[in-house]
Structure 1
């Protein structure tokens, strides 16, 4: 028989933290606001199938899954969690979400798709509006 006394037990599941990081599931959990920590734009935050990990998905963007490259397709499960489809071929007609990090104007570009480039430019314009207020701008009086 073989020597099994020194064998380290193998974990049942892969390291959730590493897998979540690879997929970009690094959003701050509630009760923190679901804003991008880089550009401050509000996003849709969803829990993932990795315990304790959340992902920011681009709000109001739902695209045909076949137009998004593998490992960038996020779908919502019936219980409201976000799941990355990885290399799975989507069923025809499936629509998916994309992670905000793909189109955040303050993060390095991940993929040079024309439509994500356009969305990144729009997010940049929206983020600049958050910080570049006119000089004479002020909150209205509460009186």
Structure 2
């Protein structure tokens, strides 16, 4: 039926954390590429993650109470400047976190139905449109 002996059960990757990286969205372009979203082309804050050679794009200037962010979408910046996903950890009272751009990118399918995330996605959609609605020259 098939050649099961010569096919690998998973992609040929030397990076053992590859699936975790994909799950967390740590797929940002590496420096020296600009830290912009490959879908909407808006500039973001790029941070290294604990996964060697992997970066994440976080929404710029947005720091929110961690309890208002869906689990697995809460990112904190450590004292070393590395971004760390809190996953399902219950945030401490008063804790603040950053959010990944992918949950508010206007060009990606929405992941959840939190009202403030929807509002931020719509705001980013308007910002993205302004990039392409430049006045005619001449």
TM over 0.5: yes
Q: Which 5+ residue runs of structure 2 have no aligned equivalent?
A: 1-14
Q: Distance in 2 between matches of 1:15 and 1:95?
A: 30
Q: Distance in 2 between matches of 1:103 and 1:84?
A: 17
1:59 aligns with 2:60: yes
TM-score scaled by structure 1?
0.84
Aligned to 2:35: 34
1:83 aligns with 2:84: yes
Q: Is the 8 A contact 1:16 1:51 kept in 2?
A: no
Q: Distance in 2 between matches of 1:117 and 1:73?
A: 16
Which digits, 9 at most, give the CA deviation of each residue in 1:52-110, with x for residues without a partner? 10000000100000111110100011100000000101111110000000000000001
Q: Distance in 1 between matches of 2:86 and 2:63?
A: 15
Runs of 4 or more consecutive aligned structure 1 residues displaced over 4 Å after TM superposition: none
Q: Distance in 2 between matches of 1:108 and 1:119?
A: 14
Q: How much is the aligned-residue C-alpha RMSD, in angstroms?
A: 1.2
Aligned to 2:130: 129
Aligned to 2:96: 95
Aligned length: 124
TM-score scaled by structure 2?
0.87
Q: Which 5+ residue runs of structure 1 have no aligned equivalent?
A: 1-13, 138-143
1:72 aligns with 2:73: yes
